[in-house]
Amino acid sequence: MAGGASGDGNDNRFGDAAAVAAGLGNEDLGYADLGYMGLGYVGLGAPDSSAWCELATGVCGLMPSRVLPGAEGPIRMLQPEAEGQAPDGSVYFKMDDLQWRVAVHPREESGLLYLGLELRDERAFDRLCKKIDACGADIRLGTEEERVARAVGCLAVVHDPAGHRVELFASPVRDRDFVSPHGVEFKTGAFGLGHVVLYVPEIQAALDFYRNVLGFERSDFMHFGPNGMGIHFLRCTARHHSIALLQIGDLRGLQHLMFETTSLDDVGKSLDRALKAGIPITSGLGRHRNDGTVSYYMQGPIGFDVEIGWDGVMIDEHWVENEFAGGGDDWGHHGLDAASLAPKESK
């Protein structure tokens, strides 16, 4: 699909799907074969972005983007005076070398608008798009306008069975020079920006999509009750999970967004900043049993929690998929229970 990255969005096909399917055979392609680079970006909607801006920069340690996506001209120039805000009111934040990782767009209702999965290069992007198309999923190329708005070299759009918009992309713009306002260093790079936990109303349909169509692998899972109630942790890099699927009812959307730091001190200092700012802590400091992450959770201002963590396990070839039971934590995380997983009200 060379050159398909800049398609106009009218042709949703990616070559001969039958030939692609025959070429792939019935083998299970792992995420390493597909060339994933993890969760690349997250797009959120909110009537007022100011509270999220305060949390992102003042507590989490993200930085307003220095160069705005969609900037006009052959050379994208620094725009520090904009403080990450585009003319349409969207606000962009960076946390590493990439131009942006989190965006908040003006919307009447708060919530998740889209999430982006990064591929290693355009060849990996082409191959995954063809695989998805061969599976019969409704995938399309992003328009030129969409591609420029995301500041990526190629873009495709598909929706999961719950209706979440999943974008695939490669060749993002890098402007480097990330400087956290609080000196935080985030664990990103080949592992993505962190992870999201998504509400899904039908767990099996969601699992089939993310595992069989997108090629994620399941690290582990936990059952809460009958009729599919539980949470399943899925990976597409060595990070224990980039996406987790949570079924606790007829719900859709974002349950929480997680950023991982490179030091325990960064977690503790951000907790201090959250407490000083009066942000509700929904779960105190603790260590998860399955992925080993030391973290805490705070209530975000637009309807979902934000987790700040450190020391998550990296998956290798010796990992064995498993169901875990007996509680989700080795210690701490007081307040993290079934009730805390329910949707939060936007402020």
Average pLDDT, the chain: 90
- State the pTM of this model: 0.92
Span 109-151, pLDDT tens digits:
999 999 999 999 999 999 999 999 999 999 999 999 999 999 9
| Residue 339's pLDDT band (cuts 50, 70, 90) | confident
| Residue 326's pLDDT band (cuts 50, 70, 90) | confident
Whether the predicted pLDDT of 19 surpasses 80? no
Span 32-88, pLDDT tens digits:
889 999 999 999 999 999 999 999 999 999 999 999 987 554 446 666 666 899 999
Residue 238 makes CB contacts below 8 A (sequence gap 6+) with 190, 191, 314, 315, 316
Closest CA to 337 of 202, 222, 207: 222
How many angstroms separate the CA atoms of 134 and 213, rounded? 9
Judged by average pLDDT, the poorest of 53-57, 133-137, 227-231, 341-345 is 341-345
Question: Hey, which of 17-26, 75-84, 278-287 has the most confident mean pLDDT?
Answer: 278-287
Mean of pLDDT values over 226-250: 96
- Return the pLDDT at 14: 62
Mean of pLDDT values over 6-17: 46
CATH 3.10.450.50 fits 189-341, yes or no: no
Percent of the chain scored above 90 by pLDDT?
A: 80
Whether the predicted pLDDT of 20 surpasses 50? no
Tell how many helices (H) and how many strands (E) occur in the chain: 7, 18
Let me know: does 105 contact 52? Beta carbons within 8 Å: no
Q: Is 204 helix (H, G, I), strand (E, B) or coil?
A: helix
DSSP letter, residue 67 = S
Whether the predicted pLDDT of 256 surpasses 80? yes
Mean of pLDDT values over 322-340: 90
Mean of pLDDT values over 248-254: 96
Whether the predicted pLDDT of 218 surpasses 70? yes
- Return the pLDDT at 347: 61
How many angstroms separate the CA atoms of 120 and 287, rounded? 31
CA 1 to chain centre: 25
Cα–Cα distance list, 252 to 2, 40, 161, 298 (Å): 35, 21, 10, 20
| Residue 11's pLDDT band (cuts 50, 70, 90) | very low
CA 133 to chain centre: 22
Whether the predicted pLDDT of 2 surpasses 70? no
